[in-house]
Amino acid sequence: MPDTPGKNAIEVRGVRKVFGTGEAQVAALDTVSVSIRENEFFTLLGPSGCGKTTLLRLIAGFDFPSEGEIMLYGQDIAPLPPFKRPVNTVFQSYALFPHMTVAQNIAFGLEMLGKPRAEIDARVAEMLKLVRMEKLAKRRTSQISGGQQQRVALARALAPQPKVLLLDEPLSALDYKLRKEMQIELKRLQHETGITFIFVTHDQEEALTMSDRIAVMSSGKILQVGTARDIYDRPAVRFVADFIGETNFLDARIDSVDGGKAKVTLKSGATIAATVADGFKPDGEATVVIRPEHAKAVKGTGDISGVVENVVYFGTDTHVHVKLDDGESFTVRQQNTRGAMMEFERGERVGIVIGDDAAQILKD
């Protein structure tokens, strides 16, 4: 997908967040800059402790950056307290007010904004309908299920029509089936309300299926920003390639670079085509990544070769684990089709054919 320059809802500029003082200082965010577009479903993805929740808290206003600016439609909101930011949050624990009913919870933000009663009532009714909770409006929040609490938390955060909605791992407390339902529900809500969503998760599958764009974070830094396809097919660094999906790493020597394309020679002597991240000029030695489903195992010779170590049948596909001649491991994933099965046996010599567009050169 080409970059369509739209309006930016949020621009994070050179934000650092340091906890502690002196020797014990820890940078939770180490100079992060990112732009989030209007109406986008944007995901911050990374393992726990990578700084994604810290960044969300800075945007919400529960914490303030040590350095840098956070622009909301061109206005720096970094110094504002949370109640002065037109941004709402769906909390991981939902944080519903236990002494209020479902409807009172949803009305809270509108009441605090001083909206007239008639407008509040109409908006609450609309929100209840949006999350399909009309029948439970008068219930206490302790009398509804986890999935229903999740919907109320969403309705409560959406009711004041925030410019940006922040979601802090909102699905992590739900069981698998409910989580799948809520993923679809969230996409629908984002589409219907047209509000920019910033979604925090450590679940790569959730990130890939839901997001317009993803920022992968590690150790307080944003490593790569792009669509699910970009991140999966064209990982820029080793961490991104490793964190999302399964992958193979191969050492290679750079022969020539021409814009986004390059020729590399693998240890086996085979020369393959590889893609290069935007604005990166590799030379000398580099690592290339190849996704298991972008390579093919063949009987005979391929670009690289080795011995089959293990074959694992997964129903939809089969994983062939190969020990390459140089000692490295390589996994190939083949789609299973009825009848036309390619059978491999342990100990058998195989060749691996790497597709023309399959390899990506990493920056590190």
Partner 1 sequence: MAKRFSIRQQTGFTTIACACFFLLYLPIAVLVIYAFNESSSVSDWGGFSLRWFVAAWSNQQVVDASWRSLKIASSAAVIATIAATMAALATTRTRAYRGLTFKYAFINQPLMVPEIVTGVALLIFFAQIKIASGYTGLGYLIAAHTAFCIPFAYLPIRARLENMDLTLERAAADLYATPWNAFRRVTLPLLWPGIIAGLMLAFVISLDDVVITEFVKSGGQDTLPTYMLGQIRRGITPEVNAISTVFLLLSVVIVTLFFFMSRKRD
Binding site for partner 1 (CB under 8 A): 60-62, 81-84, 87-89, 91, 93, 95-99, 108-109, 112-113, 156-157, 160
Question: CB of 186: closest distance to partner 1 in angstroms?
Answer: 18
Question: CB of 76: closest distance to partner 1 in angstroms?
Answer: 19
Given strand 304-313, what is the order of strands in its sheet?
A: 295-298, 349-354, 304-313, 317-324, 329-335
Closer residue to partner 1, CB minimum distance, 95 or 311 = 95
Question: CB of 141: closest distance to partner 1 in angstroms?
Answer: 11
Could you give the CA distance from residue 151 to residue 135 in angstroms, rounded to a whole number? 13
Closer residue to partner 1, CB minimum distance, 61 or 235 = 61
Closer residue to partner 1, CB minimum distance, 140 or 323 = 140
Closer residue to partner 1, CB minimum distance, 99 or 281 = 99
Question: CB of 234: closest distance to partner 1 in angstroms?
Answer: 36
Could you give the CA distance from residue 220 to residue 49 in angstroms, rounded to a whole number? 8
Closer residue to partner 1, CB minimum distance, 160 or 282 = 160
Tell how strand 295-298 and strand 329-335 pair up. unpaired
Question: CB of 112: closest distance to partner 1 in angstroms?
Answer: 4
Question: CB of 154: closest distance to partner 1 in angstroms?
Answer: 13
Question: CB of 202: closest distance to partner 1 in angstroms?
Answer: 19
Question: CB of 100: closest distance to partner 1 in angstroms?
Answer: 9
Closer residue to partner 1, CB minimum distance, 99 or 135 = 99
Closer residue to partner 1, CB minimum distance, 100 or 353 = 100
Closer residue to partner 1, CB minimum distance, 148 or 219 = 148
Closer residue to partner 1, CB minimum distance, 71 or 100 = 100
Question: CB of 91: closest distance to partner 1 in angstroms?
Answer: 6
Question: CB of 67: closest distance to partner 1 in angstroms?
Answer: 21
Could you give the CA distance from residue 45 to residue 286 in angstroms, rounded to a whole number? 26
Query: For tokens 């489903």, what's the residue?
Result: 293
Closer residue to partner 1, CB minimum distance, 140 or 263 = 140
Could you give the CA distance from residue 187 to residue 205 in angstroms, rounded to a whole number? 15
Could you give the CA distance from residue 361 to residue 236 in angstroms, rounded to a whole number? 7
* The pair of three-digit structure tokens given for residue 242, joined into one six-digit string: 């490793």
Do residues 109 and 95 lie in contact, with contact meaning Cβ atoms separated by under 8 Å?
A: no
* The pair of three-digit structure tokens given for residue 18, joined into one six-digit string: 């340091």
Which of 176, 356, 329, 127 is CA-nearest to residue 248?
A: 329
Which of 217, 233, 213 is CA-nearest to residue 4?
A: 213
